[in-house]
Amino acid sequence: MTQMKKITINDVALAAGVSVSTVSLVLSGKGRISSATGQRVNEAVEQLGFVRNRQAAALRGGQSGVIGLIVRDLTTPFYAELTAGLTEALEAQGRMLFLTQGGRDGERMRRGFEALMKQGVDGIVIAGAASEGAALRDEANRLGVPLVFASRASYLDDADNIRPDNHQAAQRLTEHLIKRGHQRIAWLGGRSSSLTRAERLGGYCATLLQYGLPFHSEWIVECEPSQNQAAQAINALLRHNPTISAVLCHNATVAMGAWFGLLRAGRQSGEDSFESYFDSTVALAAFAEVEEERLDDIPGAFVLTPAREMGRSVAERIMQRIQYAEEPIKSQIIAPRLVTRK
């Protein structure tokens, strides 16, 4: 006996002459779809005998109860924490998260968007991949799908987005070191291609200039987020620039590596510049994306923009956008918080 081929949503899209996203919207009753297009899709469904599973039978009140997330890279601590906070907040409201990784490739981001539309999600959160943001925003607007961006750096002005204030975070951290007496402050970590790093460096440089302190390009060192590389990098930096008394670290991983590097070199980490002069200690400061109680036990100053807390804010925003589709676009900037560890 010959087994009949299972009819898929792709078959329906091909028969109706529309995209898979459009078929998904017609089946779920969402989006701004013309009556003519809706009729073509429904006729294709009837002719092919397509079984409306998730897109229809599982839907209640026109909603699937599922939110889609396209995250650039889940191995990045920031996005892992943000995803955890987003999941916790959605599950508390009886919602589920459908996750896909977009990577840096724009084509993968678009494929992820298409895959989520096939699942009939109620809304989509995009975390990272700024290069594809405008195109995906326009597609979401065309299809009438609620969309919120969450990012580590600046994003689109004309879209719902939530992000930290990297410039202000760097200003606060640099100013803290200056007020502790440090005048020769270096930077360690991050890639030159990173927009987050660029925004933080802008705050760091602006604060040095504001206080009339020296700035040298050789004091800004790139470094992968590796403890071993950070340990090597800080010691190389201090060998060539022994008068540096404080170092800003791009993230907590770099700070931990820098601390280990100081210990291996027989140095210590200290807050005050007079300690650096007499005891060869170096003050460490870093940007962190976790709650205070989850910070590594490193002496120094941290500026916090907790990504998990940000994920909860993203959940709240996407639910608002789903419920009130006509609300004005909102851009929420998360303020940093300074803490010190002895």
Residue 313 belongs to a domain with what CATH number?
3.40.50.2300
- Does 23 share its domain with 153? no
What is the predicted pLDDT for the residue at 273?
45
What is the predicted pLDDT for the residue at 158?
82
What is the predicted pLDDT for the residue at 1?
36
pLDDT tens, 212-264? 998 899 999 999 989 999 999 999 999 999 999 999 999 999 999 999 999 98
| 63/265: higher pLDDT | 265
What's the whole-model pTM score?
0.78
pLDDT of 173 strictly over 90: yes
The rounded distance, in Å, linking the Cα atoms of 299 and 271 is: 8
What is the predicted pLDDT for the residue at 6?
56
- Does residue 131 contact residue 137 with C-beta atoms inside 8 Å? no
Give residue 278's pLDDT band: very low, low, confident or very high (50, 70, 90). Answer: very low
- Does 200 share its domain with 259? yes
Contacting residues for 329 by C-beta, under 8 A, at least 6 apart: 158, 159, 160
- Does 140 share its domain with 187? no
What is the predicted pLDDT for the residue at 31?
65
For residue 38, give its domain range.
Answer: 1-60
What is the predicted pLDDT for the residue at 62?
54
pLDDT of 127 strictly over 80: yes
For residue 231, being part of any structural domain is answered with yes
pLDDT tens, 73-85? 888 888 999 999 9
Mean pLDDT of the 194-208 span? 95
pLDDT tens, 100-122? 888 766 678 888 898 888 888 88
Mean pLDDT of the chain: 84
- Does 131 share its domain with 261? no
pLDDT tens, 283-328? 999 999 888 887 877 888 999 988 999 999 999 999 999 888 788 8
- Does 115 share its domain with 219? no
What is the predicted pLDDT for the residue at 318?
95
The rounded distance, in Å, linking the Cα atoms of 199 and 130 is: 14
Mean pLDDT of the 57-62 span? 43
pLDDT of 190 strictly over 80: yes
Contacting residues for 299 by C-beta, under 8 A, at least 6 apart: 259, 269, 270, 271, 284, 341, 342
What is the predicted pLDDT for the residue at 32?
72
CATH number at residue 18: 1.10.260.40
For residue 141, being part of any structural domain is answered with yes
Highest mean pLDDT among 51-65, 84-98, 105-119: 84-98
